[in-house]
């Protein structure tokens, strides 16, 4: 049975393997032993902490298939609470001369911290061998169960940064222009420094004034707001949940950031809470995500249920209850996959 659970210290080798497999542009998982171990420790502390309002908590989970860790997903409770959280805001500058009868509209990129305090969906990665049978959908959607079950831990606005366009060598057309004119370091280096939390160079070297998009190279202009081909399925899943790009892009690869109000996310609206009951395994059907709604020993599984009439206990097999570490009568949250 597929199980999603909080990451543990002993998962470090598996997390390192996932970080190595994720490639360039996956900022939230740099290949750095000290950083990855700090991420694990921070997540363990966050799951164990009593919270009434969102803060610096970071929840990192792993997908386990018969004991093997094959993917990750995470949630940052409130970005920018400990260090600056940057974006480019796409805007418009209008130049008009009535005397000459000339009007020009120019798109601009302005550095901002507008998403400070928002909850971020992050660190979604599934090893290639498991990209089948809607397992990626399970991993992505499982986070919405947590948003529903523990609303006080998260902000009203939920965002996700989508990986932008880069090649197999880690070269980003957008960053190449910034590198040439402002930074002097390549994209993998900038990406790595950000991943380990060293963002001071952004404030020191980033252009202090809005950038006119039409002055960028044609290659850089072409990738603004576009996602890496491997990220297209993840973007499609979020768009189906109601997420939209509101003209914010990443400062390194210009990938889009999408947002949705937490209570407006379709999966959050579809989540239901019921007491459980044990039923025979041949009585359950369908394809559902079910979470135990407990911290720190959080669990999400994918299984069939016996839904019954509204208000009735949700029927679960003995195996499902065991994997959720629950007894019949305990409350669960569930969501159709």
**Catalytic machinery residues:** 228
The DSSP 8-state label assigned to residue 306 in this structure reads B
Parallel/antiparallel/unpaired status of strands 119-126 and 68-76? antiparallel
Is the Cα dihedral 141, 132, 229, 75 positive or negative? positive
**Cα distances (angstroms) measured from residue 81 to each of 84, 117, 139, 222:** 8, 7, 26, 33
The three-class DSSP label of residue 50 is coil
The DSSP symbol for 218 reads H
Report the relative pairing of strands 68-76 and 272-278 from DSSP bridges.
unpaired
Q: How far apart are CA 318 and CA 277, in angstroms?
A: 9
Q: Cα-flanking dihedrals φ and ψ of residue 26, to 5°?
A: -95, 80
Place of tokens 């305090």: 117
Contact 119, 80 (CB under 8 A): no
Q: Where would I find the H helices in the chain?
A: 12-22, 33-48, 135-149, 173-178, 187-195, 200-205, 218-223, 232-240, 266-270, 318-324
Residue carrying the six token digits 């991420």? 39
């Amino acid at each position: 049975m597929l199980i999603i659970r909080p990451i543990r210290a002993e998962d470090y080798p598996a997390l390192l393997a996932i970080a190595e497999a994720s490639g360039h542009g996956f900022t939230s998982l740099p290949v750095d032993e000290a950083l990855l171990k700090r991420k694990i420790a921070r997540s363990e502390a966050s799951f164990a902490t009593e919270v009434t309002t969102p803060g610096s908590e970071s929840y990192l989970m792993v997908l386990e298939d018969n004991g093997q860790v094959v993917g990750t997903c995470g949630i940052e409770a409130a970005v920018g609470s400990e260090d600056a959280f940057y974006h480019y805001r796409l805007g418009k500058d209008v130049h008009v001369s009535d005397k000459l009868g000339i009007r020009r509209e120019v798109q601009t990129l302005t550095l901002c911290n507008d998403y400070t305090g928002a909850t971020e969906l992050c660190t979604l990665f599934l090893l290639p061998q498991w990209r089948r049978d809607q397992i990626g959908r399970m991993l992505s959607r499982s986070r919405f169960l947590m948003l529903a079950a523990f609303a006080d831990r998260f902000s009203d606005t939920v965002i996700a940064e989508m990986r932008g366009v880069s090649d197999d060598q880690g070269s980003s057309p957008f960053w190449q222009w910034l590198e040439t004119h402002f930074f002097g370091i390549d994209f993998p280096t900038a990406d790595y420094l950000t991943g380990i939390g060293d963002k001071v160079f952004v404030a020191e070297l980033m252009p202090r004034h809005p950038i006119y998009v039409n002055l960028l190279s044609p290659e850089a202009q072409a990738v603004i707001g576009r996602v890496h081909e491997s990220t297209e399925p993840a973007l499609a899943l979020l768009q189906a949940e109601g997420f939209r790009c509101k003209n914010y892009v990443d400062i390194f690869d210009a990938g889009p950031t999408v947002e949705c109000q937490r209570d407006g996310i379709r999966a959050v609206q579809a989540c239901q809470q019921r007491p459980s009951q044990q039923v025979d395994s041949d009585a359950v059907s369908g394809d559902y995500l079910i979470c135990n709604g407990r911290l720190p020993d959080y669990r999400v599984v994918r299984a069939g249920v016996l839904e019954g009439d509204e208000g009735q206990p949700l029927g679960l097999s003995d195996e499902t209850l065991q994997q959720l570490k629950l007894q019949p009568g305990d409350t669960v949250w569930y969501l159709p996959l």
